[in-house]
Amino acid sequence: MKTEIRKGGQEHALRNLSSSDTRRRFIRYLQRQAYALRMESVVLNTPVNRPLYYEREIEEIMGDGEHWPVVLGNHNSHPAGFPNMEEATYIKEIVNPFLPPDQQIEGSAILITESIKDRQNEEIVDYFKLATRTLNKVDTEVIFVVRNKDVEEGMERNRTEQNYELMHIVEKGRIPIVLPEGGVDAGRQMPGGVRGERRGLMPLKPNSVKLITHAVELQGKKPVLFFVATRHAEDVFDPITQRATDEAKKLATWRRRDPIMSAIVDYPVSVETLAKYLGKRERFPNGVLEQYCGERLAQLLAPHERGSVYAQPALLDQVPTRRRDTRLLYPA
């Protein structure tokens, strides 16, 4: 008799477990659908902290019509690209009044690995499909690139096609946006660290900046680098679990909630200026341009987000150009 009662209790518990599990799955499904419909409310309109006289600095550098902007950002999670796109729109609004009608900036173009279309985690592939609509809203085209890592995993690379897109980026009136870390390792777990501790800014990929600036130069423009550091993008789409976070899903269903991400922007600097101090015969030694850009991005982040690679800058003080005083952002 006791055995029968115990067995019946187990069946009852299993039914309750099954019912509870179904409810949880249904709630997750509803959250996912809401996130799909309202993702723009989560990733757009990110609060931006810009330096004093930022607009005046842009006008002074870009006002001659000979220069062209290039936006560089960090990459702690996939949504980190959106503040860069919005900043490109902001730059466009400032610069276009100074440009001739046939040289107007039309929008931006972001470099993204081609593997995101169908080869990465299912959640990431779905996320990119959802993001396509948002990309159109901020007038951003995608230039797909195949990384060395992708080639090692069996993807074919058509350099001619990639170079064609880059070599027509100015002609199409697009501001190139580059996330030169290449992957989202910066937002992943610190090996041996406490739970939730992130790795921080990772080494910029070799020639990731030089390739873009060279393409702009070949199209008759002098590239100007803009630095946009995005914070808390990993709290929107967790690069460890590779899923949208519960916080992001709640924000998608509840409009009256503070945004998750924030962005810190620095003063722009022309590559022409950098070459005078860091180049040899106006050419950059291998890795020097990327090292400088990594240091500029790192100093915009909070100390615990900078990582170890650029924590002790080596090149910043070698270039006498205007930079933010991060002591005001992150007081000791």
Task: Domain ranges for the chain, please list them.
Answer: 2-318
Q: Which residues contact 246 (CB under 8 A, 6 or more apart)?
A: 31
Q: What pLDDT is recorded for position 328? A: 84
Q: What pLDDT is recorded for position 184? A: 82
pLDDT, average across residues 180-187:
85
Confidence check: pLDDT of 169 > 60? yes
**pLDDT-derived band of residue 119, with 50, 70 and 90 as boundaries?**
low
Lowest mean pLDDT among 129-133, 145-149, 166-170, 271-275: 145-149
Handedness of CA 167, 171, 172, 174 (dihedral sign): positive
Q: What pLDDT is recorded for position 149? A: 64
pLDDT, average across residues 57-64:
92
**pLDDT-derived band of residue 222, with 50, 70 and 90 as boundaries?**
very high
pLDDT, average across residues 237-250:
85
Q: What pLDDT is recorded for position 15? A: 52
Q: What is the pTM of this model?
A: 0.85
Q: What pLDDT is recorded for position 279? A: 87
Confidence check: pLDDT of 237 > 50? yes
Q: What pLDDT is recorded for position 18? A: 60
Confidence check: pLDDT of 116 > 90? no
Lowest mean pLDDT among 33-37, 102-106, 315-319, 326-330: 33-37
- Which range has the top average pLDDT, 39-48, 113-122, 200-209, 260-269? 260-269
Confidence check: pLDDT of 38 > 90? no
35 or 153, higher pLDDT: 35
Burial of 259 (0-12, 13-18, 19+ CB in 10 A): middle
24 or 248, higher pLDDT: 248
- The percent of residues above 90 in pLDDT, for the chain, comes to 45
**pLDDT-derived band of residue 150, with 50, 70 and 90 as boundaries?**
low
Instruction: Select the CATH number that applies to the domain covering 2-318 from these four: 3.20.20.80, 3.40.50.300, 3.40.1130.10, 3.40.50.1860.
Output: 3.40.1130.10
Confidence check: pLDDT of 9 > 70? no
101 or 192, higher pLDDT: 101
Confidence check: pLDDT of 186 > 90? no
Q: What pLDDT is recorded for position 7? A: 47
Confidence check: pLDDT of 224 > 70? yes
Q: Which residues contact 278 (CB under 8 A, 6 or more apart)?
A: 284, 288, 289, 292, 315, 318, 319
Lowest mean pLDDT among 89-98, 141-150, 162-171: 141-150
